[in-house]
A and B are shown apart, each in its own frame.
Chain A
Amino acid sequence: MPPSSYGLIATFETAPQIYQAAQKVRDAGYKNWDCITPFPVHGLDGAMGLGRSQVPRLSLVGGIIGFITGMTMIYWTGAVDYELIVGGKPYFSPMFAFPISYELTILFTAFATIGGMFFLNGLPMHYHPVLKYEHIKRGMDDTFFIVIEARDPRFNLANTKALLEQAGGKAITELEA
């Protein structure tokens, strides 16, 4: 096996097939492997043994930062840096500071969420071995793949190939890195 190998890729025609295949690979104890699906196949996370996504935590942090930013900005500009009597209203009040803080909360949450999603997914990554697979195009369309990476400790060209075949994978090919 040339060192340049990235791993093995196997094709599956339908959602149910990959669902079951995934369960098999998971049970075989592989870690560095992945499913390529044209759409989020429902329940596949479980089948792959993935945990709950970490994105919401980042969102929460973003939201909190946003709210604090809003409140402090309005407090500092109005009640600390330059006190101006406006319409007889106080220099600062959470009442009139709220709408803007609220909007900033949402804005920062959005940034954190999307930023977080890209970060956790390791995107943007325009170049990737999987994308060099000639049939990958159909992976975006109507076909399902399982990729098992060579760097997985349990990876063994023969066994892994066998596992995939046994799981019902077709056209099992090797991906060069």
Chain B
Amino acid sequence: MKRKFDHSAPSESALTGPRYWRSLDELTATPGFQQHLAREFPEGASTLDGVDRRSFMKLMAASFALGGLGLAGCRRPEKNILPFGKSVEGVIPGLPQYFATAMPLRKSAIPLLAETHQGRPTKLEGNPTYAPHGGASSLLAQASVLDLYDPERATVNTSKGDVLSAAAANDLLAGVGKTYAAVQGAGLAFLAEQSSSPTRARLVAQLRAKFPKAVWSEYEPVSDEPPTTAARAVFGAVVKPIYRFAKAERIVSLDADFLSAESASLYYAREFAKGRRVTKKEDPMNRLYVAESALTLTGSMADHRLRLASSHILSFAAALAGKITGDAVYARLAEGLDLKPEWIAECAADLAAHKGSSLVVAGAHQPAAVHAIAYAINASLGNIGRTVDFVEVAADESVSISDLAKAITANSVKTLVVLGGNPAYNAPAELNWPALQKSVGEVIRFGYHSDETSALAGTHLAAAHYLESWGDARTADGVVVPVQPMILPLFGGITEIETLARILGLPKTDGYSLVFDTVTALGGGDSAKTFRRFLHDGLLANSAYPIVSVNLSGRGLAQVLGSVAPAVGALSQANLEVRFVADHTMDDGRFANNGWLQECPDPITKISWDNAILVSPRLGKELGIEPKGSLIQVARKEEADFTQGAENAHVFTLTVGGRTVRGPVHIQPGLSNYTVVVALGYGRTKSGHVGTGAGFSAYGLRTAQAPAFVTGATLVTTGTRMKLANTQEHWSMEGRDLIREANYSEYKENPDYVREMGIESHAPSNLGKVGEAMTPAQRATEIPRGGSLYETPKFDGVHQWGMSIDLNTCIGCNACVVACQAENNIPIVGKDQVMRGREMHWIRLDRYYSDGKADGRAMADLFGGEPSGNSILPEDPQISLQPIACAQCELAPCEIVCPVNATVHDDEGLNTMAYNRCIGTRYCANNCPYKVRRFNFFDYNLRPLDSLYLGQLAPKGMPELVKMVKNPEVTVRMRGVMEKCTYCVQRIQNGKIQHKVKTAQAGRPSDVVVPDGVIKTACQQVCPVESIVFGNILDPKSEVSVAKAREQDYALLGYLNIRPRTTYLGKLRNPNSKMPDYAALPLSRIEYNNKNHSGDHSSSHGEKPEKPAKQSGGHSSVLPGNRSGGLS
């Protein structure tokens, strides 16, 4: 299936592109297209579908008519097949092509393979040639393809409101170049985003040469890489660290969210998982200490988590360093740090015991001093060269936006060229950028959207999407990767490098030749060959940043430490710390108009379409917004008031340094008590229908001095409420056996602890004696009867599909959610519908907190006595994450109840779903214990989301542009049908067919079994930590069979005897028994025991930590083979 194409001859498709896309340019001019922008959709403007319409997309509404007949009334609706006039090289209608490209973001890029259907990129995958990512990709990369087809992207160049032709735009740029060449660029200023593109670097260098007096400044609202200043100070070299988590057995994170917020997170997460994964009890397992103020994904994986204000991290780091190095230089900074000394002592001891195999990581947003200390600790632990390498990077010679601002105020800027970014929205508050920008005579803005900044700019140049562009970039570790166009610019946009080249007045200004020159220069050798290879592999060999050996200069360190003061001011309700974080989905706001990302819930808060002011439960109580429980708390109290299922948040104003923003408050367990966390990237005012007005902008509080956190803030209620679209109403597992956890120590003694949990552990096996004796493969085909009344028909397929999800490595990054959305044409439904609980995601991540307090004594609340734990909100919970999609149950409860056979099993164990047969009784969804079935309550694909309730009166049809992102291999579902995950059945079918075709043509027709790993589900393919494994369980050597054979394998709700094909691998925690916050059992496990066994029993857990397994109900008498729910 996966084939990497050499890009067809650049001269042809790079410069002219496939002929038939011209039609799109014409389309943009048609009134029809203008209507799109006015959210009116003309009926199937067929100018677009170059190839036959069916391969274009499968819009199910087209089958609206009765039982497979054409439109009612007319017997034979006439449709046309439109083949190309001229054959297009390499394009086979019906077969996707794969091209290597990359998604640049700030100082790094993610190498990708783009899947294109007749020239339409529809899905992006990680490029497996780039080993560090191993074919994985990220949430943002998955969603970025949607931006390409954003109907509200900038489609024309404008100058003072009127349209500017491409030619005119070029003249304009050339003109700028000519004018300023004369004066050496005096009065010319550039404000650009950070970039890793070698070509841009080259052009900027030329720019400096040609316009020595011009100002080149770069600005990024959020930093995802450690400041080089720290390294320069302590090592005297311009280097940045690359961490080798796989080699680290003990990891300390100093407010660092290295699993999701750093430029190399994809690589880090993957490496971290390697050290985390435990497949047999001999395997080692890394231990993660985290000290952080917000609750990040990294924090949720922590074995020991210290809730500490970001401003106190410096002192903490100093204290830790002091303990480890015994150096007195840190003492001054560590003063007044208020926490259990054992915490630091034991943590330090643990690190010291792992010299060379430990690692201390500081968050990119922390000041240089913290990084310096971290480097020092790593140095003294002998980690440098082992668990952390330092690579040489180019020095950053750009000036800061603040300096640019000074220049502007000094009136020394006549022409300002804003390349990308969105300063009017996200520049530091004290600069008052909009006014500044207006004060500049000529502002040329080059941007993808016509946004806040464009509104204030005289000229706007429409940028091309990276999938339309020729370009290059570097990965976090410096490997040069190509950015290839998959499609001719839909709206004739140009790229950043082209813009610069035109200002420079270079002879060749087209992206292709610019990149060609750069790369061939870098790569050397026969330029044509080098470049072909570069495009084919999707990377340039041996182009990574060189690893340099560094040695710590004590003097430099002392200087850095001396330059900072201990900042351990006591925080309180009156003196809050505000922590600004890049939003998990919006990043710094650049993805605000991306519906997939807006609807994708935050992995921790589970809020979509909004950001919120996150406060700790304690602060919440002090602010008087503790949600009221019910008289008798039969389940844990929710962390927010839910009125009719939607979170009803209190709106507060957050004030710091005289600046104020207004936003809803959400109580977030696990925060440092007096740190409030606000996510950036929301509150866009000019973004488009999706992004505008979602959430509030926190940039209003942010200054250049304190971009990441600031103290001295206060929260004041406005007395008003607002509804938030929170996709998970209840946060507690209620002591149920959903996520089965154990400590590493327990696991080593008792690897199959998962079988001693759950109702099935009390009962005789569902499989019966016979079934227990069978091999997994036999179980999958025979379907042992067990105690059932019925004999199940055999599953006689040559494959039996199954999936295994390792809860121990899942970091909850949500990449699978959006990957699934992109692959399966899953619609977004909008905030209003999400609030009603109608989100359509086929795979979701359940996030649970546990504090060991859930108990069955609900009545205690009523009849006095000590109140039950149910009425308490946890301040310092453990987090458990669980991805849930349709588990393809062998004895599927949903199938039994469907009256029309719309969902039945196939012989390969798939729980299929025939949309065209479904009449929408929703009975299946009721009977699904996992609640993974999704119902199309409205025509989400056909009607604008803001007029769903208008019924037939609402405008009908999807913008052609949005249709283009749909996967032609998957039906687009209409109103009134149920949908759900089918293990990407389209990939399975195409995989099988491709294999059969191959073998038949190779004369081995009887070889019909697809080799393991050829077929990957979308969620599996994207997963950075490889926790999702899918394959054929008939093959005992397949990855999935191996995973399922592990002791920690269990079926969720296995006692129901529904025999899910997706099973989970139990979660492990690796706490240090010497630490003050050590718990002998995972807290969720304690809750499980409290709920399921007598009180005295549960209390005994604390006392006998050494053999906790036996405590969980003494079910030593379970059948040896008793797999929960049987299938493994």
Contacts and interface: CB of A to CB of B under 8 A. Distances in A.
Whether A and B touch (Cβ < 8 Å) is answered with yes
Interface of A: 83-91, 93, 95
B893 A87 contact: yes
Interface in B781-799: 783, 789-793, 795
Interface residues of B, number: 22
Contacts of A83: 793
Contacts of A95: 789-790
B790 A84 contact: no
**Most chain B CB neighbours (cut-off 10 Å) among A83, A86, A90:** A86
B789 A87 contact: no
A93 B896 CA distance: 13
Interface in B147-163: none
Nearest to B905: A85
13 contacts: A84-B901, A84-B904, A85-B905, A85-B906, A86-B895, A86-B904, A87-B892, A87-B894, A87-B897, A88-B790, A88-B905, A89-B896, A90-B793
B891 A87 contact: yes
Contacts of B789: 95
A96 to B, nearest CB: 9
A88 B792 contact: yes
Interface in B101-145: none
Contacts of B737: none
A79 to B, nearest CB: 10
Nearest to B796: A85
B904 A89 contact: no
Contacts, number: 45
A89 B892 CA distance: 9
A100 to B, nearest CB: 11
B907 interface: yes
B823 interface: no
B790 A86 contact: no
Nearest to B794: A85
Nearest to B792: A88
Interface in B621-671: none
Interface of B: 783, 789-793, 795, 890-898, 901, 904-907, 1059
Given A93-B790, A95-B789, A88 B901 contact: no
A129 B898 CA distance: 57
A93 B791 CA distance: 10
Nearest to A84: B904
Contacts of B898: 86
B460 to A, nearest CB: 58
Contacts of B897: 87
B904 A88 contact: no
**Most chain B CB neighbours (cut-off 10 Å) among A83, A84, A88, A93:** A88
Contacts of B906: 85
Contacts of B793: 83, 85, 88, 90-91
A89 B905 CA distance: 11
A91 B792 CA distance: 9
A86 B791 contact: no
Contacts of B893: 87
A89 B792 contact: yes
A91 B905 CA distance: 12
- Summarize A's interface: helix, strand, loop or mixed: loop
A83 B795 CA distance: 12
B64 to A, nearest CB: 25
A90 B793 CA distance: 6
B790 A85 contact: no
B795 A86 contact: no
Contacts of B901: 84, 86
A113 B783 CA distance: 47
A90 B905 contact: no
A89 B1059 CA distance: 13
A87 B795 contact: no
Contacts of A90: 790-793
A29 B791 CA distance: 67
Nearest to B1059: A88
B176 to A, nearest CB: 69
A87 B791 contact: no
A98 to B, nearest CB: 13
A68 to B, nearest CB: 23
A134 B795 CA distance: 77
A139 B552 CA distance: 122
Nearest to B890: A88
Contacts of B907: 85
Contact of A85 (B791, B894, B904): B904
A89 B896 CA distance: 8
Contacts of B904: 84-86
Given A85-B795, A86-B905, 7 more contacts: A85-B904, A86-B896, A86-B898, A86-B901, A86-B904, A87-B897, A90-B790
Contacts of B791: 90
B894 to A, nearest CB: 8
Nearest to B907: A85
A85 B901 CA distance: 10
A87 B795 CA distance: 12
B966 to A, nearest CB: 29
A84 to B, nearest CB: 5
B402 to A, nearest CB: 66
B787 to A, nearest CB: 14
Contacts of B891: 87-88
A87 B927 CA distance: 12
A93 B892 CA distance: 17
Contacts of B795: 85
Contacts of A91: 793
B25 to A, nearest CB: 49
Contacts of B783: 88
Nearest to B909: A85
A88 B894 CA distance: 11
Contacts of A86: 895-896, 898, 901, 904-905
B684 to A, nearest CB: 48
Contacts of A93: 790
Contacts of B892: 87-88
A35 B895 CA distance: 60
A66 B898 CA distance: 24
A8 to B, nearest CB: 61
A89 to B, nearest CB: 5
Nearest to B788: A88
A87 B901 CA distance: 10
A90 B794 CA distance: 10
Q: Considering the complex of A and B, which 10 residue pairs feature the smallest CB-CB distances, nearest first?
A: A87-B896, A88-B891, A85-B905, A87-B895, A88-B792, A84-B904, A86-B895, A86-B904, A87-B892, A89-B790
A86 B783 CA distance: 13
A84 B907 CA distance: 9
A163 to B, nearest CB: 65
A99 to B, nearest CB: 13
Contacts of A87: 891-897, 905
Contacts of B1059: 88
B890 to A, nearest CB: 6
A93 B895 CA distance: 16
Contacts of A89: 790, 792, 896
B884 to A, nearest CB: 20
Nearest to B927: A87
B189 to A, nearest CB: 69
A90 B896 CA distance: 11
A13 to B, nearest CB: 60
A124 B514 CA distance: 96
A76 to B, nearest CB: 15
Nearest to A83: B793
A112 B892 CA distance: 40
Contacts of B890: 88
A84 B917 CA distance: 14
A87 B890 CA distance: 7
**Most chain A CB neighbours (cut-off 10 Å) among B792, B898, B907:** B792
B917 to A, nearest CB: 11
A88 B793 CA distance: 7
**Most chain B CB neighbours (cut-off 10 Å) among A83, A85, A91:** A85
A87 B892 CA distance: 4
